[in-house]
Structure 1
Amino acid sequence: MSAASTRCDQTAAWTALRVQLEKTGNEFDLRKAFKNRPERFDDFSQAAPHLFADLSKNLIDAPTEILLLELARQCGLERHRDAMFAGEHINSTENRAVMHFLLRNPPPAQKGRAQEATEKIADELSRVHETLAAMLAYAEQVRADDAITDIVNIGIGGSDLGPQMAVLALEEFRLPGKRLHFVSNVDGHELAGVLAQLKPENTLFLIASKTFTTTETMTNALSAKHWFGAQGGKDIARHFAALTTNVAAAGEFGISTTFGFWDWVGGRYSLWSVIGLPLAIAIGAQGFREFLAGAHAMDEHFRSTPLERNLPVRLGLLDVWYRNFHGFTSRCIAPYSSALRRLPAYLQQLEMESNGKRVGVDGQALPYATAPVLWGEPGTNGQHAYFQMLHQGTDVVPVEFVAVKKAGHSLPGHHGKLLANVLAQAQALMEGKSDAGGHKHFPGNRPSTFLLLEELTPASLGALIALQEHRVFVSGAIWGINSFDQWGVELGKVLARDIEARLATGDDTGLDGSTSGLLRKIISG
């Protein structure tokens, strides 16, 4: 199934949005909008599972949002969403279903009325829960083993960014006495720094690679295995486990404990699968089930809520409005929570690996822009780094603030200051400040979205991540691209294997002049 029944720029709604922008968008002023309609906050804010969203500081009005919703309908968004939940092969270039949502579905017996999609993929759901039960049982076994004090997750991309982000975010819920480490970079400094803190008899290595062939992961895994033996470690089967579908390769490595997943789980959507084992060890089986439940609640919201009050839809359409009509090239994510400090890195992969595409599902080049650059740092650190540009720079960058209402610590005075800062930054971006001299002039009218969690819990984190997954789905569907492949990752990997061999031989035959020159520079004495 194609991502959209009609290409977005060929719809009547797209043309109408162009007219709308020419009529009001370029002169739209948030300050006037609030003055003219005091109810604007109510119009453009809403609750969703486990969080509240304020969209009122965005460059949008009711007629524009109506046109954007019509664009979604004309592009077949609802059909594409329903096809995903029905298990159809919407990943067309790899002929695969896209069913990461199934990883957080409760067993059918726990649902009052099984949804149609679950009926069609009941066998897959049964296998999901068999694997989940085995993985969580192992997590509890590790948690109960006092001899294991350090767990090292070796993976890269989705096998690293997701579990690392989530473990850090839910530090408050982590079992004391267990340290979790994450190694991803093939640069040996990272692994060496972790190994220097460890003792083999107290360490469990988790090798996370779907194929058990990922270059960076297997290089680190082999070095960890060598270190383990050199330091007197015994019983690899006890101290190594694999998160992989390649059971044979894991067995050749010496690993007997393996947990697999399915080809309909993309790497950047795999946190909900056995790739989440580090998180399950950190917060326990019950905590992990709450994490899944929070995501499932957002899945249900996305699947069944009318478009007008469907938060992933509203956010995804806002992304299209900014990228294609206002021409904004990036979006900043600013979590005002130190626990969420790896959220920007996680969302970078989710958004830019999913929607960083230049061709539609038919393989033809698109005449419009797709994914923006996503970047950010946690507040208040970002205020002392890049907020100068956000307030007074020449580019307008929409900002997405994430805040948590209740602190996860007991230190007095800190959380009030943190919340005051995030509210003030959103206010300052919108209101600005006049200065005739220019240097202290803040133009204001700079857009932002505000996501507020009551508390940072396994359930609310699950809902927040699922929200972001679905908003990326929405914008990708409107653009008519396949959000679930990542061919752009492959070319550099292929060339790296060739160049690695050349580094040993010095052969630069057939290389371009720059690569040849650099190769010779590197291998020269």
Structure 2
Amino acid sequence: MKNINPTKTKSWQILKNHFVKMQKVTINHLFKKNKNRFVNFSINFKNEIIFDYSKNIIDKKTIYNLINLAKETNCIEAIYDMFYGEKINVTEKRAVLHVAARYNKTSFFLKNKSIYNNIDSILEKIEYLSNNIISGKWKSYTNKKIKNIINIGIGGSNLGPLMIIESLRAYKNNLNIYFLSNVDYSQLINITQKIKPEESLFIVSSKTFTTQETLTNFISIKEWLIKNIAFTNLNDLLSQHFIAITNNINAAIQLGISKNNIVPLLSEIGGRFSLWSSIGLPISLSIGFNNFKRLLEGAMEMDNHFFTSPLNSNIPVIMALISIWYSNFWKTETEAVIPYSNDMRFLPQYLQQLNMESNGKSIDRNGNKIFYETSPIIWGDVGTNGQHSFFQMLHQGTKIIPCDFIASVIPNFFSQNHHNKLISNFIAQTQALAFGNIKNNTHEKNIYKLCFGNNPSNSIFLRKITPNNLGSLIAFYEHKIFIQGIILNIFSFDQWGVELGKQIANIILNNHFEEDIKNNDSSTNGLINFYKLFN
């Protein structure tokens, strides 16, 4: 993987000149000029997903120049490096293996084939646990069937499984799945008020088994369980009610988790990319192991598309390039993700972490300060809710905000009346953003009603929200973010910035709550001392 400053490439300079010309072009003009624009600027994936990028301020020359940028920054070589298991997570000296979690021993990927043995054994354990718990064979300490699964984890150990389970609500079984992530005690109380301890199983998900929020919640839940279930053997109680997912097996054992109840997590799989791994156990418990496998298979199919497709017909590559086009040449600062599915309401939040934790960097792979844009700010909400809040700014505000609109042709919960109205809004909003209400030099006479259009968007239309299609969609975004990181010359698979706040929080927790504090900045001192007035 080569370290190339993108702004020093020939393609970047050509794109700067090309941008000057494209500033004067409108989406309306582009459609009038090319009657086949949808065909030329859309990609059909397996007849299951349509990616329409025609409503962007781009032409064939834009894509040609952006593809050359991808070539100049050695994207193809970087793709091979990730799939072949090279240590592209350089700052942590690790390979990046979330892709490997979706494959089996017959795969042509990875030089180190023994990794697949570990992956297979983890999948076997997920299947075994899922089947036993869903069927009712796994009993609680008081010989009750498990009805409630509570996942204790934060970040990727929370958002990924939560987003998938909610998106695939139509596939859910009889188990109730709860997510305990926040160290705010109110979330723990809210969950424990809804469940009975003798019918509940807790999954503690932490790669290092040192995450403060997760361990604090785990210890408090353990105390709650001990208080509410009469027992004669503590180890038996814990073994019937706790499972751990971690890379630090010894730490989990020391905190009371039975060794038989620990599912390993490979160190080479980052948290925000980990839903395909043992972190996905709650997904398997919610929708069944066979559907979990279909989720992996859908991601694998997108991997194959990403690995084998030419750059100019490669969905993740095209999407990454369009994002770079806007953030670095149009100087847009944000991107909105708008799923027209209430079940997919956590997708914007999930993609926020996936993108901003990966590419929110200001030092390049050469160790130099960056003076171009890396990660856009990702935000969004479900349609049609967003239409009655922030869409006003999208249509008439002063900022250009590229959007991804996502919907399914066939709903999982069917009402023709509801769905026709939902999809009409999905399609209409992209049309209104692109073309506004100015046509043939005539327009709304009331100036305050004018919508000038020329606001870009991608439309992603799934045939149906299935485990397979959702797996493809999420892998699509993973690879988009990877390509952005490669072109922008940053390390996408570490997150050192997250650690600083944790370190300072521990210092404050351990040293600053016992006496009058004077040795920090005046703001920190003032806030700590105000807190201590009431505690």
Report the TM-score range of the alignment, normalised by the length of the smaller protein: over 0.9
Q: Is the 8 A contact 1:159 1:208 kept in 2?
A: yes
Residue type matched to 2:72 in 1?
Answer: Q
Among residues 209, 214, 218, which one is paired with 2:215 in the alignment?
Answer: 218
Match of 2:440 in 1: none
Paired residue secondary structure (1:160): helix
The equivalent of 1:242 in structure 2 is 244
Q: CA deviation at 1:148?
A: 0.4
Alpha-carbon distance in structure 2 between the residues aligned to 1:224 and 1:105 = 35
User: 1:11-410 to 2 correspondence within 5 Å?
Assistant: 11-23=9-21, 25-49=22-46, 50-108=48-106, 114-115=107-108, 117-118=109-110, 120-145=111-136, 147-175=145-173, 177-232=174-229, 234=231, 235-256=237-258, 257-410=261-414
Structure 1 partner of 2:462: 453
Partners of 1:472 and 1:519 lie apart in 2 by 39
Larger mean CA deviation between 133-142 and 488-497 belongs to 133-142
Q: CA deviation at 1:246?
A: 1.8
Q: How many Å apart are 1:436 and its aligned residue?
A: 4.2
Q: Counterpart of 2:214 in structure 1: which amino acid?
A: T
1:387-412 per-position Cα deviation (integer Å, ceiling 9, x unaligned): 11111111010110001010111334
Does the residue aligned with 1:230 lie in a helix, a strand or coil? Answer: helix
User: Percentage identity across aligned positions?
Assistant: 40
What secondary structure, in the 3-state scheme, does the structure 1 residue paired with 2:451 have?
A: coil
For residues 23-44 of structure 1, what are the alpha-carbon distances to aligned partners after superposition, in whole Å with 9 as ceiling and x for unaligned?
2x11121111111110011110
TM-aligned CA distance change 1:437 to 1:411, over 3 Å:
closer
The SS at the match of 2:104 is coil
- 3-state SS of 1:404 partner: strand
Contact 2:207 2:267 in 1 (8 A): no
Task: Output one character per residue of 1:58-77: Cα deviation in whole Å (capped at 9) or x when no partner.
Answer: 11000010000001000111
2:239 aligned counterpart, secondary structure: helix
Cα distance per residue 1:427-483 (max 9 Å; x no partner): 110111243442111110100000010010100010000000000011111100000
Distance 1:228 1:438 in 2: 64
In structure 1, the residue corresponding to 2:392 is in which secondary structure? Answer: helix
Alignment partner, residue 485 of structure 2: 476
| Aligned: 1:494 with 2:503 | yes
* Post-superposition offset of 1:299: 0.5
Does the residue aligned with 2:387 lie in a helix, a strand or coil? helix
Q: Counterpart of 2:515?
A: 506
Q: Distance in 2 between the 1:211 and 1:99 partners?
A: 17
Q: Secondary structure at the match of 1:213?
A: coil
Q: What count of residue pairs does the alignment treat as equivalent?
A: 514
SS of the residue aligned with 2:23?
A: helix
User: Following the alignment from structure 2 to structure 1, what is the Cα–Cα distance between the partners of residues 367 and 158?
Assistant: 30
Please say if residues 201 and 233 of structure 1, whose CA atoms lie closer than 8 Å, have aligned partners that are also in contact: no
Maintained 8 Å contact 1:503/1:523: no
When normalised by structure 1's length, the TM-score is 0.96
> Which is further off, 140-149 or 164-173?
140-149
Task: State the alpha-carbon separation in 2 of the partners of residues 218 and 506 from structure 1.
Answer: 26
Does the residue aligned with 1:259 lie in a helix, a strand or coil?
A: strand
Q: Is the 8 A contact 2:43 2:51 kept in 1?
A: yes
Q: Return 310-319 or 225-234, whichever deviates more.
A: 225-234
Partner amino acid, structure 2, of 1:144: S
Q: CA deviation at 1:48?
A: 2.1
8 Å CA contact retained: 2:105, 2:113? no
- Distance in 1, Cα, partners of 2:445 & 2:374: 38
Among 429, 436, 457, the alignment partner of 1:432 is: 436
Offset of residue 245 of structure 1: 1.8
Q: SS at 1:133's partner residue?
A: helix
Q: Is the 8 A contact 2:86 2:95 kept in 1?
A: yes
CA distance in 2 between counterparts of 1:509 and 1:92 reads 40
Q: Following the alignment from structure 2 to structure 1, what is the Cα–Cα distance between the partners of residues 16 and 408? A: 37
From 7, 13, 16, the equivalent of 1:9 is 7
Deviation, 1:502, is 4.0
Per the TM alignment, residue 135 of structure 1 is displaced from its structure 2 partner at its CA by 1.3
Structure 1 residues 493 and 46: alpha-carbon distance in aligned structure 2, compared to 1, 3 A threshold = same
**DSSP-derived class of the 2:339 partner:** strand
Show CA shifts across 1:80-125 (max 9, x none): 11111111111111111111100001331xxxxx42x33x121001
Amino acid at match of 1:438: I
Q: CA deviation at 1:255?
A: 1.4
Instruction: Look up the SS of the partner of 2:400 in the other structure.
Output: coil
Deviation of 1:253 after TM superposition, in Å, equals 2.3
Higher deviation after alignment, 253-262 or 499-508? 499-508
Kept in 1, the 8 Å contact 2:354–2:478? The answer is yes
- Write out the 4+ residue segments of structure 1 that deviate beyond 3 Å after TM superposition: 434-437
Residues 200 and 233 in structure 1, CA contact (< 8 A), matched pair in contact too: no
Using the TM superposition, name which of 325-334 and 404-413 deviates more. 404-413
Post-superposition CA distance 1:301-324 (Å, at most 9, x none): 111111111000000000110010
User: Contact (CA 8 Å) 1:295, 1:466: kept in 2 or not?
Assistant: yes
Structure 1 regions of 5+ residues with no counterpart?
Answer: 109-113
Q: Structure 1 stretch 269-278 or stretch 124-133: which is displaced more? A: 124-133
Check the 8 A contact 1:8/1:479 in 2, yes or no.
yes
Over the residues paired in the alignment, what is the CA RMSD in angstroms?
Answer: 1.2
Of residues 88-97 and 409-418 in structure 1, the stretch that sits farther from structure 2 once superposed is 409-418
The letter for the 1-side match of 2:371 is P
- Report if aligned partners of 2:513, 2:528 keep a CA contact under 8 Å in 1: no
Q: Which amino acid aligns with 1:514?
A: S
Mapped pair 1:515 → 2:516: no
Q: In the TM superposition, what is the alpha-carbon distance from 1:507 to its structure 2 partner?
A: 4.3
Distance 1:412 1:15 in 2: 51
Return the alpha-carbon distance in structure 1 between the equivalents of residues 146 and 294 of structure 2. Answer: 25
* Contact 2:149/2:178, CA 8 A, preserved across alignment: yes
